[in-house]
Chains A and B, each alone.
Chain A
Amino acid sequence: MSANPVRALSRLTGAGGLGRPALLSAVSVILLGLLAPSWSVATLILIYAMAALGCNLLLGYTGLLSVGQSVYFGLGGYLAAITATRWGLQLSSALIVSAVLCAVVAAFIGAFAIRRLGIYFVMITFAFAETAHFLAFVFQDYTGGENGLGGVPAASFGGFGQSFFIAKPGPTFFYMAAVLFVLLFVVLQRFVDSPVGAVLVAIRENESRAEAMGYSIKAYKLLVFMVSGAVTGIAGCLYVFFVGSASVAAIESDMAITIVIITVLGGIRSLYGSFLGAVVYVALDTYLSDLWPYWQMLLGIALIGIVLFFKGGIHGVVLAFFNLVRHLLSRRSSDPADHPNEGASVDVSR
């Protein structure tokens, strides 16, 4: 281990390591907690960011657009509400239940959807989203129908009747959500940086070639579908504990479209884009909508702009800004002693 702290930091934050995503996400949530005007808004940002991560895995890394993420967001939420109110399950267990069951449902839906390409895939995810919405009414005794399911107790960690940590709405809940987010972000970044992730990108770039190279396309797609479903289910579970009740709005196709909008807005070229997209979307929705009722027009224009010109979304724009700043700053200092690692560069893009 080198005595130079800078070198140690560099090694920790090197490629493939856990360091950099951990640092990135930790710094982000800390800044979010410090700068956000209310704990509710900050928590909501993290929840939507998690949902967008799930969508991004499919869209950004595998090239699959799913407009049916509401199935898992809603299901995760309902599972949380049902288990918490009926069996007294705590958040820690509810998260596991949501993640696992949503992964199972994702496997089921995925089995249908991944057989098709392009618009047909999208339409199947949409059809399942509408069906899930309908089922929420069919099982009204469990979901409460349009009344929703209320009375969800405060989030707590523990098991078998004991809790060792209770997160009431406010700063405590935010800290808990922040820790969860950092963990999730690190795990998912590891996932996409792994050989599995590389195959997913290969599928996105040229599916037939990837198949010709011997990879089982269906298996990989199914896997990412399940991971995405689990992540979105976790987000939905957290959401219900945050609001205190589960409602049918979480399982509507409008929610699925919102998740896609956040994902694309933030930028599908990196996982961090999902966080940025959530920040911007929630900020606009919370503050701009009070000032101007037609704010969604800006959102629409931003989406068109992103699709046509700034494919990297907000993340892409920020990255370009960074590179510009760094370029300007490094031009000013020409002293070699200031650049011990000359040649190294930040590479947060994909």
Chain B
Amino acid sequence: MSSDLLLAQLINGVGTGLIYFLLAVGLTLIFGVRDFVNFAHGAFFVLGALLSWTLLEHGMSFWIALVVAPLVIGLAGFVMEPLLIRRFYNVDPAFQIVGTIGLTLVIQEVATMIWGPANRSTQPPKSLQGLVDLGVVSYPTYRLFIMGVAVVVGIALWWLIERSRFGASLRAGAEDRDMASCLGVNTGMLFAITFAIGVGLAALGGVLAAPTRGLNTGSSSEVLGIAFVIIVVGGMGSFLGAFVGALVIGVAQSLTITFAPAYGSVVIYIAMIVVLLVKSDGLFGKVTRVR
């Protein structure tokens, strides 16, 4: 086992983890604000990827697709929240899951009507193809770009939640809805925006992931599984948890593949079970509210 390989796998693990972070952070944001378990989250990831494929097929540049697709999905989320999602908030978590499974089915079938069931994948833009020499290992430019985007998004989100007025209202609304409302916070608008941001982030993850792998309308469950594992490991509703959880899972997966490749995809579930045994709410989870 050479230290070069180990280092390469570690970097790769961090890279994969950062992609996972983009996927998971939207989910944990939505949960943190409204205790809403969105089992349709994977579907938005896939929608973002498919939409970017369509835009690219029509000749638009990758950069435009990168901005437009998440915006469109985010807008759709902004409209969907007051119409449908809001009604789920007071429902038992088990029912939220079943209801959003239903939503996933609807989105999946609509997507299949539009895009067909076949695999779609895109190419990274010419400017991002190629490799960057990191000394020990050469890493694809495009993957470094994704990592960069994830870090920038992470910092921007952190600033938004912790340092901005919007974030303050958000945290207030999450903690005590009625009080925040009394204090003049438009909680309805707040939650709509939060949901929009959450699904927009998932779509962004999809747009970024599409050049590295194929996606079809049935991919949402696989993506969802990873997202949920991460936010459970990191602690539901915790932004820092999503970040740390994603990195932990990404690196754990990468290292497992180095030593025991066949266990690469099951290790994330075993890791989750282990973490939950040790700390029942995940690494940074808040006290579980009894449902």
Q: What is A's interface to B at a CB cutoff of 8 Å?
A: 59, 63-65, 67, 112, 115-120, 122-124, 126-128, 130-131, 134, 207-208, 253-254, 257, 260-261, 264, 293-294, 296-297, 299-304, 306-308, 311
Contact = CB atoms under 8 A, between A and B. Distances in A.
A126 B106 contact: no
B136 interface: no
A58 to B, nearest CB: 10
18 contacts: A116-B276, A119-B232, A120-B232, A120-B236, A122-B94, A123-B272, A134-B263, A257-B101, A261-B98, A294-B109, A294-B113, A296-B105, A300-B101, A300-B108, A302-B102, A307-B88, A307-B99, A311-B95
B266 A307 contact: no
Contact of A65 (B97, B104, B221): B97
A208 B288 CA distance: 14
Interface in B206-222: 221
Contacts of A208: 290
Contacts of A124: 272-273, 276
Given A115-B280, A116-B280, A308-B88, A126 B101 contact: no
The binding surface of chain B is classed by DSSP as helix
Nearest to A112: B273
A261 B101 contact: yes
Interface in B81-135: 84, 87-88, 91-99, 101-106, 108-110, 112-113
Contacts of B109: 294, 296-297, 300
A33 to B, nearest CB: 31
Given A59-B94, A115-B280, A304 B288 contact: no
Contacts of B94: 59, 63-65, 122
Interface of B: 37, 84, 87-88, 91-99, 101-106, 108-110, 112-113, 221, 225, 228-229, 232, 236, 263, 265-266, 269-270, 272-273, 276-277, 280-282, 288, 290-291
A320 to B, nearest CB: 19
A143 to B, nearest CB: 15
A254 to B, nearest CB: 7
A200 B266 CA distance: 33
B281 A299 contact: no
A102 B153 CA distance: 46
A297 B280 contact: no
B149 to A, nearest CB: 28
Given A122-B97, A253-B225, A296-B108, A117 B288 contact: yes
A63 B104 CA distance: 23
A297 B103 CA distance: 9
Given A65-B97, A301-B102, A307-B98, 5 more contacts: A119-B93, A120-B281, A122-B97, A123-B272, A304-B99
Contacts of B229: 123, 127
A203 to B, nearest CB: 12
A300 B102 contact: yes
A254 B273 contact: no
A293 B217 CA distance: 14
In the complex, the 10 A-B pairs of residues with the closest C-beta atoms, listed nearest first:
A303-B102, A300-B105, A307-B99, A65-B94, A300-B106, A297-B109, A127-B269, A134-B266, A300-B102, A294-B109
Given A119-B232, A123-B228, A301 B106 contact: yes
B277 A300 contact: no
Contacts of A131: 266, 269-270, 273
Nearest to B285: A120
Contacts of A126: 225, 228, 269
B106 A127 contact: no
A112 B270 CA distance: 12
Given A115-B280, A123-B229, A264 B98 contact: yes
Contacts of A297: 105-106, 109-110
A120 B94 CA distance: 11
| Max count, chain A CB within 10 A of own CB: residue among B113, B228, B229, B269 | B269
Nearest to A309: B87
Contacts of A300: 101-106, 108-109
B105 A253 contact: no
Contact of B273 (A119, A127, A299): A127
Contacts of B87: 308
A307 B93 contact: no
A257 B93 CA distance: 16
A127 to B, nearest CB: 4
Nearest to B271: A127
A130 B266 contact: yes
A119 B37 contact: yes
Nearest to A252: B221
Contacts of A299: 102, 105
Contacts of B280: 115-116, 120
Nearest to A305: B102
A51 to B, nearest CB: 16
B290 A304 contact: no
B113 A304 contact: no
| Max count, chain A CB within 10 A of own CB: residue among B84, B88, B105, B288 | B105
Nearest to A293: B112
A146 B104 CA distance: 27
Contacts of A64: 94
Contacts of A293: 112
Contacts of A207: 290
A307 B36 CA distance: 14
Given A261-B101, A300-B102, A307 B269 contact: no
Given A65-B94, A120-B288, A294 B112 contact: yes
A228 B280 CA distance: 24
